[in-house]
Amino acid sequence: MPETITVTELNTRVKELFLKTPAINDVWVSGEISGLRKYPSGYYFVLKDATSEIHAVMFNSARMRIDFEPQENMKVRAFGSIGMYVPRGTYQFIVEVMQKSGLGDRYIAFEALKKKLGEEGLFDESHKRKLPPYPKKIGVVTSQSGAVIHDIIMTSASRYTADIILAPAKVQGDGAAESIVDGIRILNKADVDVIIVGRGGGSIEDLWAFNEEIVARAIYNSRVPVVSAVGHETDFTIADFVADARAPTPTGAAALILRDKAEIDAEMDALSTRLQRAMQSQMRSERHAFEILDSKLDLRSAMEGLDMHAMHLDDLMRTAEHRISSMLSDMKGRYNAVDLGLRPSRALEDMEALGERVEVSLERIRVRTSSTLENRRAILEGIQDRPDRAISKGLQDLDSRMAADSKMLDGLNPLNVLNRGYSMITSEDGKVLTSIDDIEVDDSVRIHMRDGTADAEIRKKEKRT
Amino acid sequence: MSGYEEEVEQMSFEESIKTLEELVKELEAGGLDLDKSIEIYEKAVILRNHCRKILDESERKIQKIMESSGQLKTEDFEVD
């Protein structure tokens, strides 16, 4: 009966076999570094050539012996042995010494293409198109199964509303570049406003399609602005250089293209406030202009003129009275002197009668003058009153109309209500339902909440009495 | 003013908010007579309502597009 061994035993045997096989110990291997990760214990990477690859590790002890920093895509010669890691049953190449053997082929190709396209002007700032601030349709060229389209759909949900049209494309491996080019062409035909071309992260090999010349040219020739979103924070692809804008991730691309809804809301509120303020200050200055006009209006100065006339008249009358009475006393004196004996009482009477007549005339003049003044004042005041009243009433009307308008506008905004935690129910055709009489059992209705809608059917209804 | 309402109805969000901004600036600059101010104010209110409506009411479509023998074909796309 054949012996049965444990997994550990098997792997240990493989390890021993490896150790005893000179062909895989102390050998020089040439290849390209890929997927380089740096850990405290050492560098982990994949050594690869055109047709094969092997996991490799260079522990710190070995790293001390080299005078360069290993880089992604670097072509190297590495000296070491195959080691078996028993707990996982995996083997890797354990590097003891490493030499640079020139730059990787891909790197050279990348640099050459970058230089060529740069000289042709494909990266020129002047060719970069501005992204539309409020696009209606966003085209996305990416894989239909990856996280990219998912991330874009999720991120854009809370942003300015736009349709998303996916042109499914192969984003890595054979034919990926052609597939991406096709997607860009189709979306241009479909009249989208902006295109995102992207994929999730990956090694530089995985991203290679985005370094292909045909992809670069398709982006450059796209009628619609293109945003590149090749999920790689540090490495740029040729597509990033040609694109009108570059986002580090697909989520970043969606955020770059669509403005945050809350931000637009805040902007709208600010505009509303500015509108109200401007209108109010416009009305204040309008009122002020009336006041200036009013003060300039001849009414007041006319009034002052009248007052002056009145004073002058008073003055004249006082002078006249004074003169007449001094004339009278003068005459009285003369009569007395001429003939005291000559019917003195009669003369005195005559004088007194004369004096009374003068008094009466003076009184009449006074009355007439002041009544004229009063009349004119009343007329003037009447004139002044009327436009004042009309204008201030007009302004008041406007004020209250504006206040009512803005109140109504804010009240009408259903979001304000929904944001406070209420829900709104509409019929299937969007009519708001406010009464139990509006619905029947089995009706389909839609519930609108702050962050979405739900469809429901009425099972039972009961009218409150 | 109903004529203006119809005009605004045809305007995109971008156009509306741009026009609204211009009107607010015009009003802020002042120096207009009362009738003109009121006219601008009323137009601005119509534009603002239109913008709010677009923001509050629009629903998006998520679709997938393909080309077969030169014809574009779209269908609804559901994320798994």
DSSP sequence for A260-273 = BHHHHHHHHHHHHH
Q: Is the pLDDT of residue A423 over 60?
A: yes
| pLDDT (mean) for B13-42 | 87
Residue with tokens 């923001």: B55
Specify the length of chain A in residues. 465
Q: Is the pLDDT of residue A393 over 90?
A: no
The CA distances from residue A371 to A308, A312, A361, A375, B11, in Å, are 15, 16, 15, 6, 67
- CATH no. for residue A212? 3.40.50.2300
- Predicted TM-score (pTM) of the model is 0.53
How far does the CA of residue B47 sit from the closest CA of chain A (Å)?
A: 11
For A54-63, A106-115, A384-393, A412-421, which range has the lowest pLDDT when averaged over its residues?
A384-393
**CA–CA dist A275, A273 (Å, integer):** 5
In a domain, A70, yes or no: yes
Residue with tokens 């009668």: A353
User: Model confidence at B80, in pLDDT bands (50, 70, 90)?
Assistant: low
CA-CA-CA-CA torsion sign (A355, A357, A363, A368): negative
Rounded to whole angstroms, the maximal C-alpha distance in chain A is 189
Decide which of A230, A259, A288 is a domain's last residue: A259
Contact call for residues A42 and A64 (beta carbons, < 8 A): no
- Please, is A132 exposed, middle or buried when counting C-beta atoms within 10 Å of its C-beta (0-12, 13-18, 19+)? middle
In a domain, A84, yes or no: yes
In a domain, A71, yes or no: yes
A78 and A181 inside one domain: no
Contacts of A61 (CB under 8 A, 6+ apart): none
Q: Is the pLDDT of residue A243 over 60?
A: yes
Q: Is the pLDDT of residue A35 over 80?
A: yes
User: Model confidence at A195, in pLDDT bands (50, 70, 90)?
Assistant: very high
Q: Are B64 and A164 an interchain contact pair (Cβ–Cβ within 8 Å)?
A: no
Q: Kindly list the residues from chain A whose CB atom is less than 8 angstroms away from the CB atom of residue B69.
A: none
Q: Kindly list the residues from chain B whose CB atom is less than 8 angstroms away from the CB atom of residue A141.
A: none
Q: Is the pLDDT of residue A354 over 60?
A: yes
In a domain, A119, yes or no: no
DSSP three-state, residue A400: helix
**CA–CA dist A308, A316 (Å, integer):** 12
DSSP H or E run through B71: strand B71-76
In a domain, A60, yes or no: yes
**CA–CA dist B57, B18 (Å, integer):** 20
Q: Is the pLDDT of residue A180 over 90?
A: yes
Contacts of A432 (CB under 8 A, 6+ apart): A424, A425, A426
**Amino acid letter for position A425:** I
In a domain, A109, yes or no: no
Which chain B residue is nearest to residue A414, measuring alpha carbons?
A: B56
Per-domain residue ranges of chain B? 2-76
Q: Kindly list the residues from chain B whose CB atom is less than 8 angstroms away from the CB atom of residue A278.
A: 24, 27-28, 30
Contact call for residues A412 and A383 (beta carbons, < 8 A): no
Total beta-carbon pairs less than 8 A apart between chain A and chain B? 112
Contacts of A171 (CB under 8 A, 6+ apart): A142, A143, A146, A179, A180, A198, A199, A209
For A41-45, A276-280, A399-403, which range has the lowest pLDDT when averaged over its residues?
A399-403
**CA–CA dist A63, A434 (Å, integer):** 75
DSSP three-state, residue B63: strand
**CA–CA dist A179, A167 (Å, integer):** 9
Please give the ipTM for the structure prediction: 0.86
| Beta pairing class for A424-427 and A74-85 | unpaired
Measured from the Cβ of residue A457, the count of other Cβ atoms closer than 10 Å reads 9
User: Model confidence at A194, in pLDDT bands (50, 70, 90)?
Assistant: very high
Q: Is the pLDDT of residue A117 over 60?
A: yes
Q: Is the pLDDT of residue A298 over 60?
A: no
DSSP H or E run through A226: strand A226-230
Q: Is the pLDDT of residue A353 over 90?
A: no
Contact call for residues B63 and A138 (beta carbons, < 8 A): no
User: Model confidence at A333, in pLDDT bands (50, 70, 90)?
Assistant: low
Contacts of A375 (CB under 8 A, 6+ apart): none
In a domain, A464, yes or no: no
Which chain B residue is nearest to residue A449, measuring alpha carbons?
A: B56
For A269-283, A407-421, B32-46, which range has the lowest pLDDT when averaged over its residues?
A407-421
| pLDDT (mean) for A243-253 | 91
In a domain, A19, yes or no: yes
pLDDT for A138: 96
Q: Is the pLDDT of residue A120 over 60?
A: yes
User: Model confidence at A369, in pLDDT bands (50, 70, 90)?
Assistant: low
- Residue from the list B17, B45, B60 with its beta carbon closest to the beta carbon of A405: B45
How far is Cα of residue A88 from the mean position of the Cα atoms in its chain? Answer: 53
pLDDT for A299: 56
Which B residues in the span 12-51 are in contact with A, Cβ-Cβ below 8 Å?
12-14, 17, 20-21, 23-24, 27-28, 30, 32, 34, 37-38, 41, 44-45, 48-49, 51
Beta strands (DSSP E) in A40-86 are: 42-48, 53-59, 74-85
**CA–CA dist A251, B57 (Å, integer):** 24
Query: What counts of helices (H) and strands (E) characterise chain A?
Result: 12, 13
- Residue from the list B38, B65, B79 with its beta carbon closest to the beta carbon of A165: B65
For A432-436, B21-25, B43-47, which range has the lowest pLDDT when averaged over its residues?
A432-436
Q: Are A275 and B45 an interchain contact pair (Cβ–Cβ within 8 Å)?
A: yes
A328 and A390 inside one domain: yes
User: Model confidence at A366, in pLDDT bands (50, 70, 90)?
Assistant: low
Domain count, chain A: 4
| Beta pairing class for A90-103 and A444-449 | unpaired
Contact call for residues A268 and B55 (beta carbons, < 8 A): yes
| pLDDT (mean) for A17-25 | 91
Contact call for residues A429 and A439 (beta carbons, < 8 A): no
User: Model confidence at A435, in pLDDT bands (50, 70, 90)?
Assistant: confident
Decide which of A60, A85, A103 is a domain's last residue: A103
pLDDT for A80: 93
Q: Is the pLDDT of residue A279 over 80?
A: yes
A49 and A92 inside one domain: yes
Higher pLDDT, A222 or A286: A222
The token duo for A250 is 């697909």
**CA–CA dist A47, A394 (Å, integer):** 85
Torsion of CA B40, B44, B46, B50, to 10 degrees: 150
Q: Provide the domain limits for residue A372.
A: 297-412
